[in-house]
Structure formats: structure tokens, C-alpha cells
Amino acid sequence: MYRLLIIILFFFEYADAHHSMASYTTELTEFAGEIVSIEWRNPHVVFSLISTKDKEQWRFEAESIYVLKRAGIDEKIIEVGEIVRVAANPSSLKARDALAKNLLKADGTEVILHPTSKPLWSNNLLGVFGRNTENNPDIDTISENKGFFRTWSNPGTFPKLIANLPFTKEALESRNEWDTADNFATRCEAEGMPRIMRNPHPYEFINLGDTIQIKTELYDTVRTIHMESKSSTTKLIPSRLGYSVGRWENNELVIITSHINWPYFDNIGTRQSKNVLIEERYALSDDQGQLHYHFSINDPYTFIEVATIEGYWAALGEKLEPYNCRLY
């Protein structure tokens, strides 16, 4: 039962890909008013309205540009001057600040702004609700024969994972030090390993011969995988992405990453040590339409035993866009 609880907590953090929801209440509050500003930017799109009820200005945070566009929502969905209805979780830290879940337009269109949300007011729906894309019918992955080396996307709006995360007592207690108002996400600080490999944005694998690059749209991050590296790692300087060595093993790409000095395992403040060692295994489906992954995380400080995460990405033909994270 204890371990099951930890796994449930792990999935809960994915309710917000870039930072946790701990700074917002669980109470769903409804607002109505006129849109007065829209900021279409990363890490999260933000809009403000003047409340019809109390004439106060409220700021609402939605998902990242990629997540919203993936759900069919673009910058034209709402405009300054529109009268809308919003369901949101108010912040427990900031006055008149909330996490937007649903938005109802004057024409009756309900826009689902968050993957944990369900329709509230309308049958005319748009956005992040029940979306799952396993393939792109315009892509013939077998004829293309790109193998591992293409852009890979989560089939759903957010990663679908199976995880075994047996946290230690020390790791769980370390979350008490987490500052929900001042952390790497609120500072637009690029994430390290292994957290960077668990986000809703697409990944691109590029074969450069002696090395493989793994790029992700999130924070424009580029990892370098040294294939069959024979060099000594004793003098390497630790970094947020660590040092990665790859090899081919029975048609799988196996990557071992060490020398990581990124202090967090997740986005809710769970600490990890500098001794963390990560093994990634990637296997291509027969039709080359899916890339299955399995991560093993060995860190006695964070986990009672080796932790595992597994899932898959799909070949949807997406392209990585500049992230351009900007502070609010």
C-alpha cells in the first residue's frame, strides 16, 4: 500500500508538466468577466480578466504553448474584449491568481485548458480532453525507414507512464524544503536528468555517428550521447544533464548517464543525490511507429531500490519549436 501511494503521487505531479500544482487550491471556482490581456508565452500561457462580480483583475495560468496547440488551441481562441466564463483553482500564495481549467466562450464553445479537467457547461468542446493520437495517417514509417532517428511525441497530451518509485523517507521529507513560488520552473531554469526526459514536449533523435543527440523542445535542451565511449570518466565535471554513454544491444539503444548534479528528481522538490545513475533503454516497434522506453534510476538516497519508468512515444511528424521561456 505504501509503494502504491508513492506511484499515485508520481502521476499527480503530471497534472502540470512544468511545475507542480502545490501552490493552487483544489477548490474549483467560477469567474466571469472581460478578457483584458493575453500573454502567449512559455512556460505557460497567461490571460487576465476583469471580474464582473467584484471588478477585480484576475490572472489565469494555462498550459504551455505546445500542450495547448497539440489540443487544437491557438492564440486566436480568445481575444481581448471577449466576455468569458472561467473555472479555475485559485492560488494559495498569490492574490487574484489562479490555474485555469475550463473556459466558456460567448458562442457556447467550452475550451478545456487542463488535462485533469472535464466538460462543465457545453457539448461544443475544444481542447485538452480525452485526446490520444497513436499515429499520423499521413506518415508511412516503414517506407520512410528512419528507425530511431526522427521526432517522437507523446501519444496523449501528457506522458502515459508506468512507474515504480519506492522513495526513501529522506527523499519524501526533502519535499518540505521545496519553495512553490521560487523554483527552477518559476525561474525559467532548464531541467536536468532524469526530469527532462519526462515532459509532454516532443523529442528528436539525431545520428551524428560517434554521438547521438537527443533534443527536446522544453527549454531547447540538447543531450549528447557518446557512443561506445572508451574515455575515462574520472575527470568529468558533473552537470545537470550528466555524461551519457550509449551502445546498441540486440536492436535496443542503451544509454548510461552518470555525473549528474541536478538536485531534483521531479518538479515537487524530491531530492536526488550526485550518485544517481540512470539506464535508458529504447526499442523500436516493428512498424517504426513507436519508440518504447524503459528508465532505471539507481540512487540509494532517493529510492529504497532501483526505480523504473516506462512508456512510449509515437511518430506523429511534429517539429520542435523554439521554447523561448520568459519570466512573468
What pLDDT, on the 0 to 100 scale, is given for residue 159? 81
Distance CA 314, CA 218 (A): 17
Average pLDDT over residues 265-289: 97
What pLDDT, on the 0 to 100 scale, is given for residue 156? 82
Distance CA 253, CA 3 (A): 29
H-only helix segments in the chain: 2-12, 65-70, 141-144, 169-174
User: Is a pLDDT exceeding 80 seen at residue 229?
Assistant: no
What pLDDT, on the 0 to 100 scale, is given for residue 323? 94
- The fold of the 19-127 domain, in CATH, is OB fold (Dihydrolipoamide Acetyltransferase, E2P) (2.40.50)
CATH no. for 141-314: 2.40.128.20
- Specify whether the CB–CB gap between 41 and 326 falls below 8 A: yes
User: Is a pLDDT exceeding 80 seen at residue 157?
Assistant: no
Q: Which residue has the cell 523504473?
A: 308
Distance CA 45, CA 156 (A): 20
User: Is a pLDDT exceeding 90 seen at residue 215?
Assistant: yes
63-72, 124-133, 298-307: range with lowest mean pLDDT = 124-133
pTM for the complete prediction?
0.88
Does residue 252 or residue 188 have the better pLDDT?
252
The model's confidence at residue 230, banded by pLDDT at 50, 70 and 90, is low
User: Is a pLDDT exceeding 90 seen at residue 106?
Assistant: yes
Does residue 34 or residue 114 have the better pLDDT?
34
Average pLDDT over residues 298-309: 98
Identify the DSSP state of 52.
Answer: T
What pLDDT, on the 0 to 100 scale, is given for residue 9? 40
The model's confidence at residue 186, banded by pLDDT at 50, 70 and 90, is confident
Amino acid in the structure at residue 218:
L
What pLDDT, on the 0 to 100 scale, is given for residue 6? 44
Which three cell numbers, joined as nine digits, stand for 231? 574515455
Contacts of residue 118, Cβ cutoff 8 Å, sequence gap at least 6:
112, 129
20-29, 32-41, 96-105: range with lowest mean pLDDT = 20-29
Find the distance separating the first CA and the last CA of the chain, reported in whole Å: 41
What pLDDT, on the 0 to 100 scale, is given for residue 133? 82
Average pLDDT over residues 290-314: 98
DSSP code string of 164-216: E--B-HHHHHHGGG--TTSSTTTTTPPP-TTGGGSSSS-EEEEE-SSEEEEEE
The ranges assigned to domains in the chain are 19-127, 141-314
Does residue 93 or residue 295 have the better pLDDT?
295
What pLDDT, on the 0 to 100 scale, is given for residue 15? 38
- Specify whether the CB–CB gap between 216 and 199 falls below 8 A: yes
The model's confidence at residue 191, banded by pLDDT at 50, 70 and 90, is very high
Cis link prior to 194 (omega < 30° from 0)? yes
24-28, 37-41, 197-201, 272-276: range with lowest mean pLDDT = 24-28
